């Protein structure tokens, strides 16, 4: 995991940069702040290494001429078009019942944002200190948006390893309606049924690939399924349409789309205290 990183900023945003330096330091990441004249496209082209930057729009991850953040404001159009009937994820997670839901594979939080918009009360769990800090900044900025404020009020962020968090919940005899799993890189070794041709990875995913690999391996989430089943009435796993089952375990039900599917595992014997 990344233990140190440069953070670039302009003089006008040095206080913001110092705030993020303190936050990341408390989470085990050493930050070296560098002030630059202008954070523009030319600067990012000439600064290929993985870094952070701070500007008027908050905290960003950057590398290879690209910059990325979990931009929840950019999702507003999708949210306004979404409905319980139109979204397959809504049927898979039974969002019409406004469930308590743990998203144990946070990513950029876009699915959690959609599920909260459609009524779920979401606990978003992320273990990587830099990605969590990006999510935290996005969550805070979204509270100032009139449309997003009531949505993000239903999202609670937890800085934790998902396996540890699920184990803790089980030890406390907690029961939730849904645990949602979307392993970030299932195509790496769990897409054996799919054609070998790979689509170009999106810019956001390229940067996440650079940030998240550990010892050259991706966390594919196999271990989370069994842990999730101990506390959730329903575990929902998002998969590429032709991917093998998570942990090689056949689901109780599936919802199939053109590009992806949702595998559901039901635990009828779980009841909340």
* CATH label of the domain that carries residue 54: 3.40.120
Per-residue pLDDT band for 222 (boundaries 50, 70, 90) equals confident
Do both 35 and 80 map to the same domain? Answer: no
CA 106 to each of CA 32, 121, 180, 192, 243: distance values in angstroms, whole numbers, following the listed order: 26, 14, 9, 24, 20
> Mind listing the pLDDT tens digit for each residue in 46-90?
999 999 999 999 999 999 999 999 999 999 999 999 999 999 999
Per-residue pLDDT band for 2 (boundaries 50, 70, 90) equals confident
Q: Are strands 121-126 and 155-159 parallel, antiparallel or unpaired?
A: parallel
CB environment 15-47: b (16+ within 10 A), e (fewer):
ebbeebbebbeeeebebeeeeeeebeeeebeeb
Do both 227 and 106 map to the same domain? Answer: yes
> Is residue 36 included in any domain, yes or no?
yes
Average pLDDT (242-249) is 92
> Mind listing the pLDDT tens digit for each residue in 177-205?
999 999 865 444 444 444 433 433 467 77
Do both 225 and 258 map to the same domain? Answer: yes
Q: What is the pLDDT of residue 219?
A: 52
Do both 43 and 75 map to the same domain? Answer: no
Residue numbering of the annotated binding site: 126-127, 182
Q: The domain containing residue 18 runs over which residues?
A: 3-66
Residue numbering of the annotated binding site for S-adenosyl-L-methionine: 126-127, 182
Q: What is the pLDDT of residue 220?
A: 59
Residue 7, phi then psi, degrees to nearest 5: -125, 115
Q: Average per-residue pLDDT in the chain?
A: 90
Q: What is the pLDDT of residue 187?
A: 47
> Mind listing the pLDDT tens digit for each residue in 9-29?
999 999 999 999 999 999 999
Question: DSSP states of 72-98 as a string?
Answer: GGGGHHHHHH--TTT-HHHHHTTGGG-
Do both 244 and 208 map to the same domain? Answer: yes
Do both 51 and 98 map to the same domain? Answer: no
Do both 39 and 83 map to the same domain? Answer: no
What would the two tokens of residue 223 be? 């271990």
> Is residue 82 included in any domain, yes or no?
yes
Do both 148 and 39 map to the same domain? Answer: no
Do both 226 and 257 map to the same domain? Answer: yes
Last residue of a domain, one of 66, 89, 114: 66
CB neighbours (10 Å) of residue 236?
Answer: 26
Last residue of a domain, one of 44, 66, 88: 66
Q: What is the pLDDT of residue 205?
A: 77
Last residue of a domain, one of 40, 66, 92: 66
Query: Does the pLDDT of residue 271 top 80, yes or no?
Result: no
Taking a C-beta distance cutoff of 8 angstroms, is the pair 59, 134 a contact? yes
Do both 62 and 174 map to the same domain? Answer: no
Count: domains in the chain: 2
Instruction: Report the percent of the chain where pLDDT is more than 90.
Output: 79
Taking a C-beta distance cutoff of 8 angstroms, is the pair 123, 231 a contact? no
Q: What is the pLDDT of residue 185?
A: 55
> Is residue 130 included in any domain, yes or no?
yes
> Is residue 98 included in any domain, yes or no?
yes
Q: What is the pLDDT of residue 268?
A: 75
**pTM score > 0.85 for this model?**
yes
Taking a C-beta distance cutoff of 8 angstroms, is the pair 126, 106 a contact? yes
Q: What is the pLDDT of residue 134?
A: 98
Average pLDDT (164-189) is 86
> Is residue 273 included in any domain, yes or no?
no
Q: What is the pLDDT of residue 221?
A: 75
> Is residue 237 included in any domain, yes or no?
yes
User: Residue 135's domain is classified under what CATH number?
Assistant: 3.40.50.150
> Mind listing the pLDDT tens digit for each residue in 91-146?
999 999 999 999 999 989 999 999 999 999 999 999 999 999 999 999 999 999 99
Q: Which residues pair with 254 in a beta bridge?
A: 263
Do both 112 and 221 map to the same domain? Answer: yes
Do both 101 and 50 map to the same domain? Answer: no
């Amino acid at each position: 995991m990344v233990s140190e990183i440069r953070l670039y900023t302009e003089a006008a945003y040095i206080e913001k940069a110092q705030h993020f330096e303190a936050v990341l330091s408390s989470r085990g990441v050493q930050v070296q702040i560098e002030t630059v004249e202008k954070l523009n496209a030319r600067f990012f082209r000439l600064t290929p290494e993985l870094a952070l930057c701070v500007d008027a729009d908050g905290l960003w991850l950057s590398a290879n001429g690209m910059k990325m953040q979990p931009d929840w404001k950019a999702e507003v159009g999708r949210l306004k078009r979404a409905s319980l009937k139109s979204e397959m994820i809504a049927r898979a997670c039974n969002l019409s019942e406004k469930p308590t839901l743990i998203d144990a594979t946070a990513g950029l939080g876009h699915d959690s944002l959609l599920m909260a918009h459609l009524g779920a009360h979401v606990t978003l769990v992320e273990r990587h200190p830099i990605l969590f800090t990006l999510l935290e900044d996005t969550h805070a900025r979204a509270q100032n948006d009139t449309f997003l404020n009531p949505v993000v009020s239903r999202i609670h962020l937890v800085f934790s390893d998902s396996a540890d968090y699920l184990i803790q919940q089980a030890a406390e005899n907690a029961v939730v309606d849904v645990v949602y799993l979307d392993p970030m890189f299932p195509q790496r070794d769990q897409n054996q049924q799919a054609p070998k041709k790979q689509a170009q990875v999106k810019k956001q995913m390229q940067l996440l690939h650079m940030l998240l690999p550990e010892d050259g391996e991706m966390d594919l989430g196999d271990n989370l399924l069994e842990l999730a089943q101990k506390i959730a009435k329903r575990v929902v796993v998002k998969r590429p349409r032709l991917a093998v089952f998570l942990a090689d375990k056949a689901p109780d039900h599936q919802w199939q789309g053109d590009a992806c599917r949702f595998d559901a595992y039901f635990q009828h014997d779980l009841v909340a205290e």
